[in-house]
């Protein structure tokens, strides 16, 4: 089998959701699965090296310089199928799924599994996603094809399945829901109070501070204008209230840094260092606006927060996670930009958060769903 990605550079998310999944399925399910990745020519050799460090047998190929020429990659994929003769292609996201469907029937490929990571048409229309205009015009047709012409589907949330049903009239049952899981290197270690104080001291946070954490990208769907209003109110209430951003530069973050220089920090660290810093915090932030993109999402940071023992402040209607927070009492669901009462997270609560993530967002916890997937596509 091939696992196909297109136009996705190596990153922490790529390692946990692509290369780590392949390694897990090989070791736990004896899956004969090989990565085929089409990546940008920009720093091609560097990106290729990073992926090869994770999967030495991965097939890494350059995309043509201009994205609209992606269809040429169909021909390259067809050649690969002639050489390696895979019977199945698991295709991550809409474009990769269209490529796989295009070579099915004219090659060895008999089955295509669409690995749906979100609502791509909605994302491109709701946010300033930099893609060629020709893609924006075609994305609805392409996503419809990926959903309805694939033989099997992976969705990251139940809400994404519901979106496929309402938007593309998908009425099948050949799918499985597997959320964005933690990397297999995750160890369910409960920090002690001394551990937390030590980390806090190393980054200039006091033992009695109440610390919120934001970890992740600064993309449009992260709703930083709403987040600014929420956090500025929290910071004004007490000088013991602190915020740590594990993110790149963004205008609203800079504004908070300038207004509250003693209470706000921004760091951009290697993904292996994220959990250690999160351990110093009390609660993770997942505040987003109401959009289709967010309503079907599976934010990787949700599991990251829980894995560090943090509770989560989350917007309503965010994927399957707002309901999960209500059901499992692992944070607070908010509407609008008013923040709830926020308290320090004790060790007992941290232990429960880590137990929740271990039982829901590790690859071992999703093993039965992975087995269902492989049974359907092999």
Please give the Cα distance from 135 to 338 (Å, whole number).
38
Say if residues 29 and 371 touch (Cβ distance below 8 Å): yes
Cα 231 from chain centroid (whole Å): 23
pLDDT of residue 64: 77
Please give the Cα distance from 155 to 35 (Å, whole number).
19
pLDDT of residue 248: 83
Domain spans of the chain, in order of start: 2-181+363-377, 193-360
Q: What is the pTM of this model?
A: 0.91
Strand partners, 89: 2, 112
Give the architecture (CATH level 2) of 2-181+363-377: 3-Layer(aba) Sandwich (3.40)
Write down the CATH superfamily of domain 193-360: Glycogen Phosphorylase B; (3.40.50.2000)
pLDDT of residue 225: 75
Q: How many residues does the chain have?
A: 378
Say if residues 97 and 150 touch (Cβ distance below 8 Å): yes
DSSP string, 48-93: HHHHHHH-TT-EEEEPPSSGGGGGHHHHHHHHHHHHH--SEEEEES
Strand order in the sheet with 111-116: 59-62, 34-39, 2-6, 88-92, 111-116, 152-155, 175-177
pLDDT of residue 375: 96
Q: What is the pLDDT of residues 171-201, one digit of tens each?
A: 999 999 999 999 998 888 898 999 999 999 9
Q: Do domains 2-181+363-377 and 193-360 have the same CATH topology?
A: yes
Signed CA dihedral, 221, 269, 228, 196: sign only? positive
Please give the Cα distance from 336 to 233 (Å, whole number).
13
Residues 6 or more apart whose CB falls under 8 angstroms from that of 224 comprise 218, 250, 251, 252, 253
Q: What is the pLDDT of residues 7-47, one digit of tens each?
A: 999 988 899 999 999 999 999 999 999 999 999 888 999 99
pLDDT of residue 274: 83
**pLDDT < 70 positions in the chain:** 65-68, 130, 217-224, 336-339
């Amino acid at each position: 089998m091939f696992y196909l990605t297109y136009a996705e550079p190596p990153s922490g998310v790529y390692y946990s959701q692509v290369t780590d999944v392949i390694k897990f399925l090989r070791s736990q399910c004896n899956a004969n699965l090989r990565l085929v990745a089409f990546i940008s020519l920009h720093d091609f050799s560097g990106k290729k090296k990073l992926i090869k460090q994770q999967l030495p047998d991965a097939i890494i190929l350059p995309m043509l310089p201009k994205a609209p020429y992606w269809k040429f990659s169909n021909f390259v994929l067809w050649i690969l199928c002639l050489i390696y003769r895979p019977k199945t292609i698991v295709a991550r996201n809409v474009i990769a799924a269209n490529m796989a469907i295009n070579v099915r029937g004219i090659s060895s490929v008999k089955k295509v599994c669409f690995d749906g990571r979100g609502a791509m048409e909605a994302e491109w229309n709701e946010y300033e996603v930099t893609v060629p205009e020709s893609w924006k015009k075609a994305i609805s047709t392409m996503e419809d094809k990926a959903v309805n012409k694939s033989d099997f589907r992976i969705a990251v949330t139940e809400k994404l399945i519901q979106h496929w049903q309402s938007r593309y009239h998908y009425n099948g049952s050949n799918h499985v829901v597997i959320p964005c899981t933690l990397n297999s290197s995750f160890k369910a270690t409960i920090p002690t109070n001394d551990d937390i104080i030590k980390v806090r001291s190393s980054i200039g946070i006091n033992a009695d501070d109440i610390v919120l954490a934001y970890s992740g990208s600064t993309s449009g769907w992260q709703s930083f204008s709403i987040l600014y209003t929420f956090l500025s109110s929290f910071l004004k209430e007490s000088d013991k209230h602190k915020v740590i951003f594990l993110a790149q530069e963004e205008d609203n973050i800079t504004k908070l840094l300038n207004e509250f220089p003693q209470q706000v920090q921004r760091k951009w660290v290697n993904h292996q260092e994220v959990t250690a810093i999160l351990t110093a915090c009390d609660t993770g932030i997942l505040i987003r606006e109401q959009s289709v993109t967010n309503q079907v999402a599976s934010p990787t940071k949700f599991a990251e927060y829980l894995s560090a023992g943090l509770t989560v402040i989350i917007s309503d209607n965010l994927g399957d996670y707002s309901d999960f927070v209500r059901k499992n009492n692992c944070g607070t669901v908010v509407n609008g930009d008013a923040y709830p009462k926020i308290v320090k997270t004790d060790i007992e609560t941290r232990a429960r958060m880590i137990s929740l993530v271990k039982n829901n967002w590790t690859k071992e916890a999703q093993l039965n769903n992975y087995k269902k997937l492989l049974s359907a596509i092999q």
